[in-house]
């Protein structure tokens, strides 16, 4: 049983919606972390599953700095179903089509070759995205579960892939509900959105008391918050990311305003960040080595000449 967790109004908590913190909480090799992930997935797909493995293509979960490479959690349930969970702190306009792309890759990545296998051996595949800030869908519902569907005849294909989204910007009405009337998905969404809001601590405490998975996630978060070395690493990652992001944005603005070559070079670097994992990994390694954003830009300028 998870120890009783209680947050006071003056407690300073790390924002679990930050990509590296989210992954740090849900990918540790501890019963609390694994239990929290299983209960989160169960709440969002609508039935109980047990997550038993983080797939090998993820960065090592014991190296907190490598979490800057990828922020999704690619895992497998006890029944063989595949789940990809990601926190999008600053989602961009093409997120919905990106979800569709990766849901397809997750589903079709299953191996059914062999004389004893058929398409019926394919397992369910879930692409789960928690969208921290932006709104993407025109209705006021924060939760959506998408599947192949004929919208004219109202017939579902009943396929085995799903895209599940939580839009945390749509919780203004949900937060006003009594916690005993909230669904599991609503409790998790409120937890993610309002954890660091000190005015909502009473509600967060009530939710933790009612949902053990959320209490488990909080137990891990508290350990991270109290571990000064790990907290420093998380803050350093965030600082480096924001420094580089700000440098790119300002250079792009300068390039648009003055037509300077520096702006175009920054644009090429941004293209590498968004379009090439290999280039992203190189940038992460340079950040780890202590190079400044200016030195990173200079290195790329030399490599392109």
Q: Which of 5-9, 155-159, 191-195, 289-293 is predicted least confidently?
A: 289-293
Long-range contacts for 228-231 (Cβ within 8 Å, ≥24 apart)?
230/24, 230/64, 231/14
Percent of all residues in the chain with a pLDDT value above 90, rounded to a whole number: 52
Structure tokens at 280: 């992203």
pTM higher than 0.85, yes or no?
A: no
Q: What is the enclosing helix (H) or strand (E) of 286?
A: helix 277-288
In the β-sheet with 51-54, what is the strand arrangement from edge to edge? 51-54, 73-77, 82-88, 125-131, 161-167, 143-146
CB 5 within 8 A of CB 181: no
- In the chain, % helix, strand, coil (3-state, to 5) comes to 55, 10, 35
The string of pLDDT tens digits covering residues 214-241 is 999 999 998 887 775 565 566 666 666 6
Structure tokens at 96: 């919905």
Between helices 212-226 and 201-210, what is the axis angle to 10°? Answer: 120
Please tell me the distance from the alpha carbon of residue 157 to that of residue 147, in angstroms, as a whole number. Answer: 8
In this prediction, residue 72 carries a pLDDT of 82
Structure tokens at 145: 């579960």
> What stretches of the chain adopt beta strand conformation (E)?
51-54, 73-77, 82-88, 125-131, 143-146, 149-150, 155-156, 161-167
């Amino acid at each position: 049983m998870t120890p009783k967790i209680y947050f006071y109004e003056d407690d300073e908590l790390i924002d679990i919606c930050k990509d590296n913190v989210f992954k740090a909480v849900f990918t540790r090799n501890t019963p609390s972390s694994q239990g929290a992930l299983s209960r989160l997935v169960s709440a969002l797909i609508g039935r109980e599953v047990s997550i038993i493995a983080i797939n090998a293509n993820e960065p090592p979960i014991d190296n907190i700095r490598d979490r800057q490479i990828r922020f999704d959690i690619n895992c497998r349930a006890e029944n063989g179903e595949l789940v990809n969970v990601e926190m999008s702190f600053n989602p961009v306009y093409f997120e919905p089509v990106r979800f569709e792309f990766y849901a397809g890759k997750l589903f079709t990545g299953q191996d059914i070759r062999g004389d004893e296998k058929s398409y019926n051996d394919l397992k369910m595949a879930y692409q789960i995205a928690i969208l921290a800030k932006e709104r993407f869908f025109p209705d006021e519902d924060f939760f959506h579960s998408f599947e192949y569907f004929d919208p004219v005849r109202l017939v579902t294909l009943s396929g085995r892939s799903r895209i599940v989204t939580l839009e945390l910007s749509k919780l203004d009405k949900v937060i006003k509900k009594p916690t005993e009337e909230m669904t599991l998905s609503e409790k998790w969404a409120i937890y993610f959105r309002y954890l660091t809001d000190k005015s909502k601590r009473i509600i967060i405490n009530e939710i933790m008391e009612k949902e053990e998975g959320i209490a488990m996630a909080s137990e891990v978060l508290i350990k991270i918050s109290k571990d000064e070395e790990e907290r420093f690493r998380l803050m350093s990652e965030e600082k480096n990311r924001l420094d580089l992001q700000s440098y790119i944005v300002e250079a792009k603005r300068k390039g648009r305003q003055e037509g300077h070559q520096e702006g175009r070079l920054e644009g090429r670097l941004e293209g590498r960040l968004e379009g090439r994992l290999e280039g992203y990994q190189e940038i992460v390694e340079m950040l780890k080595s202590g190079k400044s954003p200016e030195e990173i830009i200079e290195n790329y300028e030399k490599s392109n000449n």
